[in-house]
Amino acid sequence: MIKPFDFTPGNLPLLLSIPHAGTALTPEVARGLSPAAQGLCDTDWHIPQLYHFVAEMGASVLIGNYSRFVIDLNRPADNQPLYATATTGLYPETLFDGTPTFNAGMTPDAAQRRSYLETLWHPYHQQLQQELARLKSRFGYALLFDAHSIASQIPRLFEGKLPDLNLGTNDGASCHPDMTAKLEAVCAAQSDFSWVINGRFKGGYITRAYGQPANGVQALQLELAQCNYMDEAPPFLWCDDRAQRLRPLLKKLIEALLSS
């Protein structure tokens, strides 16, 4: 069995979490996927490659290896919805566009899904918690950057085209206002990419659960529109020229976090 995550410890007070880039499947999920889901369309494609500079800077990096179609690492273990609008759950039954994830009668059963929770979800979150505790112990505080991406147009989830950068701090609860202001200043200082803070994407479970500024942990989520670094249509190819254009802004955001 493929290990649930890859983890690289760093020497900065920053942990980069990448929960949705994984493409590994369990046998039962692989057998049951609908034709529309077999291309793993809702994956956060190429995010580890896009953010490779963060590890080079010296930050810790945690990457989930399994597809969100097996279990979504950015949803709560009790599967309570995070948004009042259309969303997907801990065990996604539909794709972002509303198409069924599984063929009829081929959804993993309750016992299989419990095993995903125990062998994939809990280990990821245990590692995340341990690393935040280590960073906080060493530096007196910890920073958590939860990195995501999504197709720029998904009518079921949002109207029109998504802004290029969608920063979420759980409406200010997961990140101190001073830090949010620094991130906002970085975005406002450029005109190449559109951006919003706490728009459609305010942060998922990881941001909301671990972002506790009063306890020394600041967390935010960045949901990128995929058109800025890859082709959004299958086979979802990496576009190096677009990525090179985007990376300097991402690095400035990371540097702003570390300067706080």
Helix ranges (H only) for 2-121 are 27-32, 47-50, 52-57, 110-116
pLDDT range class, residue 42, cuts 50, 70, 90: very high
Task: State the pLDDT at residue 80.
Answer: 76
Task: State the pLDDT at residue 231.
Answer: 98
Task: State the pLDDT at residue 89.
Answer: 85
Q: Is the dihedral of CA 172, 176, 179, 185 positive or negative?
A: positive
Residues of the chain with pLDDT > 90: what percent?
92
CATH code given to domain 5-258: 3.40.630.40
Dist CA 103 CA 57 (whole Å): 44
Helices (H) and strands (E) in the chain, counts: 8, 7
pLDDT range class, residue 155, cuts 50, 70, 90: confident
Q: What are the residue ranges spanned by the domains of the chain?
A: 5-258
Among 59, 118, 105, smallest CA distance to 255 is for 59
Other C-beta atoms within 10 Å of 215: how many? 10
Task: State the pLDDT at residue 11.
Answer: 98
In tens, the pLDDT along 182-216 reads 999 999 999 999 999 999 899 999 999 999 999 99
DSSP E strand boundaries for 161-231: 165-168, 195-197, 217-225
Helix, strand or coil for residue 20?
Answer: coil
In tens, the pLDDT along 160-190 reads 999 999 999 999 999 999 999 999 999 999 9
pLDDT range class, residue 1, cuts 50, 70, 90: confident
pTM of the predicted structure, to 2 decimals = 0.95
Q: Would you give the DSSP letter of residue 163?
A: P
Contact assessment for residue 207 and residue 170, using Cβ atoms and an 8 Å cutoff:
yes
